């Protein structure tokens, strides 16, 4: 049986490689989304042992949640998995705004329950702070939903350090999700240590740095999409990062896995990071991500890979 870990102090136990569902049904974020491929990808995830699915309203304006609910209903597997989802956005013809009011969050949970075809959500995040609602009041609303049994754990995402501390005023925050990878490790200075001290689990998104840490790019073949405008994909910084990534090939070969698997395994070796949630657009990508579980890195391996990117 695969190793399962507890997400912080939540009582939720999962295998460490979850499933980031940001491409599932996400017509508003990606082009050429094929929903039948999304369904097959979810089925492959369940079949391969994935038991943690991370979604959000903004992933397809609820469509990601609906497809997850559909497949879990079809397979009868709801009780076998942990579902996380998020809300904060209101999308109208005039644009997008954020709302963390207790009323909005309460309604968002009720609507997500229907989309997911379930009567409880394991982990519910405030997706972004709205800059208006006092953070502790927003989290307090989720605490009431937790006490009512509609959610099992409380998360916040994309909160600054100060906003996180305000949100955790009553020690209700169970999980923090934010942008982190080996090439932008700034959160190791404050947020990750704070989570460790508070018993909060930290779940990184973009741990592969938008593909930079996968080994699929070369010095002469940088990405030509939106990523080319990001600092880590430009000039000497890009060349330096590619050289560092390539140097991981020997360790990857030793474990019979990919460079991306080594990066994910290293990320899991950081205190307070219990799980990672790489995305997948296809069944093949699900299986590739799952191979991370084969990379049994020592603490020395983890330290050496992290030091490489300092």
> Which one-letter DSSP state was computed for residue 16?
S
Q: Which of 59, 125, 205, 238 is catalytic?
A: 59
Q: What is the distance between the terminal CA atoms of the chain, rounded to a whole angstrom? A: 35
Q: How far apart are CA 302 and CA 193, in angstroms?
A: 17
Our measurement of the distance from residue 243's CA atom to the centroid of its chain's CA atoms, rounded to an integer in Å, reads: 27
- Give the contacts of 280 (CB within 8 A, at least 6 positions apart): 19, 20, 23, 41, 45, 286, 288, 289
CA distance 143 to 149: 10
Distance CA 33, CA 271 (A): 36
Known active-site residue 59: yes
Q: 3-state class of 182 per DSSP?
A: coil
Provide the residue count of the chain: 310
- 184 forms beta bridges with 181
Tell me whether residue 204 is exposed, middle or buried, using C-beta atoms within 10 angstroms of its C-beta: 0 to 12, 13 to 18, 19 or more.
Answer: buried
Q: Cβ(105)–Cβ(121) under 8 Å? A: no
SS3 192: helix
Q: Where do runs of H (alpha helix) occur along 76-190?
A: 102-116, 135-147, 161-167
Active site residues: 59
């Amino acid at each position: 049986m695969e190793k399962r870990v507890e997400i912080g102090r939540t009582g939720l136990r999962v295998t460490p490689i979850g499933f980031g569902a940001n491409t599932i049904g996400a017509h508003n974020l990606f082009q050429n989304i094929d929903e039948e491929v999304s369904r097959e990808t979810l089925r492959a995830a369940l079949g391969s042992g994935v038991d943690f699915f991370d979604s959000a309203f903004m992933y397809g304006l609820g469509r990601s949640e609906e497809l997850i609910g559909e497949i879990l209903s079809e397979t009868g597997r709801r009780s076998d998995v942990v579902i996380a989802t998020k809300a904060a956005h209101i999308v109208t013809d005039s644009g997008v705004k954020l709302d963390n009011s207790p009323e909005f969050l309460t309604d968002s949970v009720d609507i997500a329950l229907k989309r997911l075809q379930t009567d409880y959500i394991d982990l519910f995040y405030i997706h972004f702070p709205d800059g208006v609602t006092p953070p502790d009041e927003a989290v307090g609303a989720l605490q009431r939903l937790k006490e009512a049994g509609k959610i099992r754990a409380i998360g916040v995402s994309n909160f600054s350090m100060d906003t996180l501390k305000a949100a955790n005023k009553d020690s209700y925050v169970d999980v923090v999700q934010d942008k982190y990878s080996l090439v932008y490790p700034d959160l190791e200075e404050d947020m990750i240590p704070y989570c460790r001290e508070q018993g909060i689990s930290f779940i990184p998104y973009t741990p592969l740095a938008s593909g930079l840490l996968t080994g699929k790019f070369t010095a002469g073949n940088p990405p030509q999409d939106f990523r080319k405008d990001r600092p880590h994909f430009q000039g000497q910084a890009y060349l330096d990062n590619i050289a560092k990534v390539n140097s991981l090939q020997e360790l990857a070969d030793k474990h019979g896995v990919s460079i991306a698997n080594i990066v994910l395994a290293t990320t899991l070796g950081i205190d307070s990071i219990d799980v990672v949630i790489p995305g997948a657009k296809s069944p093949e990508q699900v299986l590739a991500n799952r191979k991370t579980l084969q990379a049994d890195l020592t603490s020395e391996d983890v330290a050496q890979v992290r030091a490489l990117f300092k």
